[in-house]
Amino acid sequence: MAASVVPGKRGKKSRRVRLEDIADKVGVSLSTVSRALAGEKGVRPDIRERILEAAKDSNYSVSASVAGKKVVLAASSAAMIDYVRNQFTLYVLEGLRDRAQALGLEIVTRAIADQAEEKLVLDDARADPDVAGLLFLTVDDEGILKATRGFSKPVVLINGDDPNMLLSSVSPCNRSAAHVATDYLIRLGHERILFLMRPGRRTIERRREGWQDAFRQHRLDCPDDLVVQVDDWLPELAAQAVSERVKKRGLDFTAVLTAGDSLAVGAMMGVQQMGYTVPGDVSVMGMDDLPQAAFLNPPLTTVHIPMRELGGVALDLLRESLTGLAHPARRVELACRIAERQSTGPARQPA
């Protein structure tokens, strides 16, 4: 039976209008639409007017102004340690602050080492009318996550996620990133690829799963003894782990993929300390693409993680939650890419 149309009634869209729809309609980029709707600088007046008109025609709900508001960034102990040792957290914060400046937001950073400190942060944020929402950086602790679920103001996780999907989050696509990296090494002829990691975080576990995925895709064996664990992200621990393995088993691998660039630095040290060359005898590949990776000897092939973008996207996700509309929690994962340098090469041929 054909569906009848009621005169004078306007059909409702079956899905919520997205920024991409407005961008297509006006013929501009997604970033231009985002800046125009946020009231940011850098958009021509005529373009801004067309975007606003298209948003109005499409019944798009423009986010409430957040200018002059505060966002609390609660950083875990792991994030603070990384900030001191490496630069991953540093670049996430740079992207966050750049986006906050464009939106006229103030970022207030608070450290949280345990649930007691988290309670103070939440209590202060709840009582302060100028606080628009909270961002939690590098948090896995279930006790901390539990306390934030159902909080009266929006909460977004950065570089982590909520396994119960009650909190929105932004992170790299860790599993696919490690899959792409391992596939790259396998296509160079490597079949014995160590995975060097520090266990503990779900994000790192997903990198291990991506490493396994690539072996399964190529129908290669992936024995558990190819996983090498260290207790911290220090290069010297990685160097020790690699050199000890070579002493006990010989050079029974042709490549090493590490869960972070700092471990890749140590892996190269360990290989070289045992009298072997990189990449002649062993290819070494990291993940993160920290700036120092390009200045190692040899320069490190690694997976580029969009660190700055993590902060900016998280803030946009938080701002969208302030519209007052009911949105389901979302897990946003950003794509990663290989930064190819000289620490990887074809697998060595058996003697």
Is pLDDT of 326 > 90?
no
What is the arithmetic mean of pLDDT over 161-173?
A: 94
And the tokens for 290? 């920290």
What pLDDT is attached to residue 43?
83
What pLDDT is attached to residue 77?
87
Is pLDDT of 220 > 80?
yes
What is the arithmetic mean of pLDDT over 315-339?
A: 85
What pLDDT is attached to residue 11?
40
Interatomic CA distance for residues 125 and 38, integer angstroms: 24
In this structure, the strands spanning 70-76 and 106-112 are parallel
Angle between helices 88-103 and 307-320 (to 10 degrees): 40
What is the arithmetic mean of pLDDT over 133-153?
A: 90
Interatomic CA distance for residues 234 and 236, integer angstroms: 6
What is the arithmetic mean of pLDDT over 209-229?
A: 96
What pLDDT is attached to residue 82?
82
The residues, any chain, with a CB within 8 Å of residue 152's CB and separated by 6 or more, are 126
What is the arithmetic mean of pLDDT over 66-93?
A: 85
Q: Which sign, positive or negative, has the C-alpha torsion 58, 170, 97, 128? A: positive
Is pLDDT of 233 > 90?
yes
Least confident window among 9-13, 149-153, 164-168, 297-301: 9-13
Confidence of residue 114 (pLDDT cuts 50, 70, 90): confident
Nearest CA-CA partner of 312 in 77, 98, 48: 98
What pLDDT is attached to residue 5?
36
Average pLDDT, the chain: 88
Is pLDDT of 56 > 80?
no
What is the arithmetic mean of pLDDT over 187-209?
A: 96
Q: What tens digit of pLDDT does each residue of 18-28 get?
A: 778 888 889 99
Confidence of residue 185 (pLDDT cuts 50, 70, 90): very high
Is pLDDT of 4 > 80?
no
In this structure, the strands spanning 283-288 and 301-304 are parallel
Is pLDDT of 284 > 70?
yes
In this prediction the pTM is 0.79
What is the arithmetic mean of pLDDT over 187-202?
A: 96
Q: Which sign, positive or negative, has the C-alpha torsion 331, 105, 78, 271? A: positive
Confidence of residue 6 (pLDDT cuts 50, 70, 90): very low
More confidently predicted of 168 and 14: 168
Confidence of residue 137 (pLDDT cuts 50, 70, 90): very high
The residues, any chain, with a CB within 8 Å of residue 207's CB and separated by 6 or more, are 174, 175, 177, 178, 197, 259, 287
CB 14 within 8 A of CB 6: no
Is pLDDT of 3 > 50?
no
CB 76 within 8 A of CB 136: yes
Burial of 127 (0-12, 13-18, 19+ CB in 10 A): exposed
